[in-house]
Amino acid sequence: MSATSLDQIVSLCKQRGFIFPGSEIYGGLANTWDYGPVGVELKNNVKKFWWDFWVTNRDDVVGVDAAILMNPRVWEASGHVSNFADPLVDCKACKKRHRGDKLLEEKLGVEEVAGIALADVTPRLIKEKIKCPDCGKVDWAEAKQFNLMFKTSQGVTEDSEREIYMRPETAQGIFVNFKNVLNSARKRLPFGIAQIGKAFRNEITPGNFTFRTREFEQMEVEYFCAEKDWKKIYPELEKASWEFFEKLGIDPKNLRWRQHDDAELSHYSALTKDIEYKFPWGWGELQGLAYRSNYDLKQHEKFSGESLEYLDTETNEKFVPHCIEPSFGCDRTVLTALLDAYHEDEVNGEKRVVMKFAPAIAPIKVAVLPLSRKEQLTKKSREIYDMLRAEFRCEYDETQSIGKRYRRQDEIGTPLCVTVDFGTIGEDDGQSKKDHVTLRERDSLKQEAVPIKKLLEVVKKKLSA
């Protein structure tokens, strides 16, 4: 990423069709975002890349796609009903609402505030003379716990019997299917179960574009093992997690590991390390790697009454497996890919914006561009386009000047452009030979003449390099 601001990315995303503000024609809905034509390709490519990396290319991980709506007892068992909450305080003067713990942390630090009782939040805010960030007064109401889960109701009446939650993490859809997967996929420990899907959290402070939203997608693996093996497996998953981002094309200089201290650990975790990215506003979490012990499976045993034990056929020992969880934010990974790909350079004295995505995640792999709209050229270009699009996501574009079309392809990060010019159709333009096209590389701007009959092979080679 060259020094870029979030505003530049937000504006490019809208202009080029990566990401639009949600419900825009109705004035929007705060902090909702819709992926546009190239954005959805990018996001789907990120998900495919993740699935190939964590599932297809491993023989110890299988996938599931569980329902978003689950039995509400799941969230009692997981601890989300009682623990997934933030202490909120209302300013009595301006009526604005804030996270009491965050206001205290800003002044006193995380350590000092960790584990503070709900009843102590407001007295401490007053004692420390912490002002409302909106109106500057120190006039706080009593702090209240605010659960981050979205509630909805199932069926036609809205009574508490029918109250259910939108899942706040995909992980529980994996835990509740542990036995089904064990019985059907016949996996032996250690093995993982992966899932990609939407999660919902009624975040109090969403923001920074798609970094923190109330509806987002997660890509999670629950990797099950015997307790004695977790210390050996954790570093292996740590290495794989880092490698995932490197292979995705993220500059490792913009990544770092950060271990949670005791105060920060989630209610289920004994060890968590995050991979963070250097966002324009500072370091922020991209992925968490949590050792969850056998907390979740044990809780589900307790609440469901079903045994979730595993039988080790070698030792004849029965136990509830432990679990390590690499949990990735999909939208955050896409945002990272966008920020990291953004580059500016100069071509013929003009500024060029170019998105240097790794070919595997580039929304469009090849653009086919006839030099003019002359029928012979467009016909030949369409033939070439049809040949290429059987293999890759391609775009055909005959509008505007060739310079403008190159600029658009650079801004959506298309690695290769194929230009069909007069030489291609046998008219001497002093540039290219008959039955040859010009292949232009996005990053180096190198242009080479390639015979049409060899084009597919050359493009394949360049995209896999």
Residues in contact with ligand GAP by CB under 6 A are: 169, 171, 201, 203, 212-213, 216, 218, 220, 285-288, 325, 327, 329, 331-332
Q: Which of residues 139 and 285 has its CB atom nearest to ligand GAP in the complex?
A: 285
What's the number of CA atoms in the CB half-sphere (13 Å) around residue 115? Answer: 6
356, 246 Cβ separation under 8 angstroms = no
**In the complex, minimum distance from the CB of residue 330 to ligand GAP, in angstroms, rounded to a whole number:** 8
**In the complex, minimum distance from the CB of residue 85 to ligand GAP, in angstroms, rounded to a whole number:** 13
Q: Please give the helix or strand (H or E) that residue 129 lies within, else none.
A: none
The residue written with tokens 């003067």 in the block is 93
φ, ψ dihedrals at 198, nearest 5°: -75, 145
- Nearest-CB residue for ligand GAP: 329
Q: Is 2 exposed, middle or buried (0-12, 13-18, 19+ CB in 10 A)?
A: exposed
Q: Which of residues 101 and 169 has its CB atom nearest to ligand GAP in the complex?
A: 169
Give the Cα-Cα-Cα angle 337, 15, 346 (nearest 5 degrees). 70
Positions of E strands within 228-321: 255-259, 271-279, 282-293, 310-312, 317-319
133, 116 Cβ separation under 8 angstroms = no
**In the complex, minimum distance from the CB of residue 290 to ligand GAP, in angstroms, rounded to a whole number:** 6
In the three-class reduction of DSSP (H, G, I as helix; E, B as strand; rest coil), residue 207 is classed as: strand
Per DSSP bridges, beta strands 394-396 and 366-370 are parallel
**In the complex, minimum distance from the CB of residue 41 to ligand GAP, in angstroms, rounded to a whole number:** 20
Other C-beta atoms lying within 10 Å of the C-beta of residue 364: 22
Q: Which of residues 221 and 233 has its CB atom nearest to ligand GAP in the complex?
A: 221
Q: Which of residues 170 and 424 has its CB atom nearest to ligand GAP in the complex?
A: 170
Question: How many residues does the structure list for the chain?
Answer: 465
Alpha helices in 413-465 (DSSP H): 452-464
**In the complex, minimum distance from the CB of residue 138 to ligand GAP, in angstroms, rounded to a whole number:** 29
**In the complex, minimum distance from the CB of residue 214 to ligand GAP, in angstroms, rounded to a whole number:** 7
Q: Which of residues 107 and 256 has its CB atom nearest to ligand GAP in the complex?
A: 256
**In the complex, minimum distance from the CB of residue 86 to ligand GAP, in angstroms, rounded to a whole number:** 12
Q: Which of residues 340 and 411 has its CB atom nearest to ligand GAP in the complex?
A: 340
Q: Which of residues 86 and 331 has its CB atom nearest to ligand GAP in the complex?
A: 331
